[in-house]
Chains A and B, each alone.
Chain A
Amino acid sequence: DAMVIQNPRYQVTQFGKPVTLSCSQTLNHNVMYWYQQKSSQAPKLLFHYYDKDFNNEADTPDNFQSRRPNTSFCFLDIRSPGLGDAAMYLCATSRDLAGGYHNEQFFGPGTRLTVL
Chain B
Amino acid sequence: AQSVTQLDSQVPVFEEAPVELRCNYSSSVSVYLFWYVQYPNQGLQLLLKYLSGSTLVESINGFEAEFNKSQTSFHLRKPSVHISDTAEYFCAVSELEGGSEKLVFGKGTKLTVNP
Interface size class of B (residues with CB under 8 A): 20 to 34
- From A44, A50, A55, A108, give the contact of B43 (CB < 8 A): A108
Say whether B105 contacts A43, CB under 8 Å: yes
Interface residues of B in 92-115 (CB under 8 A from A): 94, 96-103, 105-108
- A90 contacts the other chain (Cβ, under 8 Å)? yes
A104 and B46 contact, Cβ closer than 8 Å, known pairs A45-B103, A48-B102, A50-B98: yes
Nearest CB to that of A106 among chain B residues? B46
Q: How far is the CB of B111 from chain A (nearest CB, A)?
A: 14
Interface residue? A107 (CB, 8 A): yes
Q: Does A110 contact B (CB under 8 A)?
A: yes
Given the interface pairs A42-B90, A90-B44, the reply to whether A55 lies near B98 with Cβ below 8 Å is yes
Partner-A contacts on B (CB < 8 A): 9, 32, 34, 36, 41-46, 49, 51, 90, 94, 96-103, 105-108
Sampled A-B contacts (9; CB under 8 Å) = A41-B108, A43-B105, A45-B103, A50-B99, A92-B43, A94-B100, A105-B46, A109-B42, A109-B43
Q: Give residues in A with beta carbon < 8 Å to B.
A: 4, 6, 31, 40-45, 48, 50, 53, 55, 90, 92, 94, 96, 100, 102-110, 112
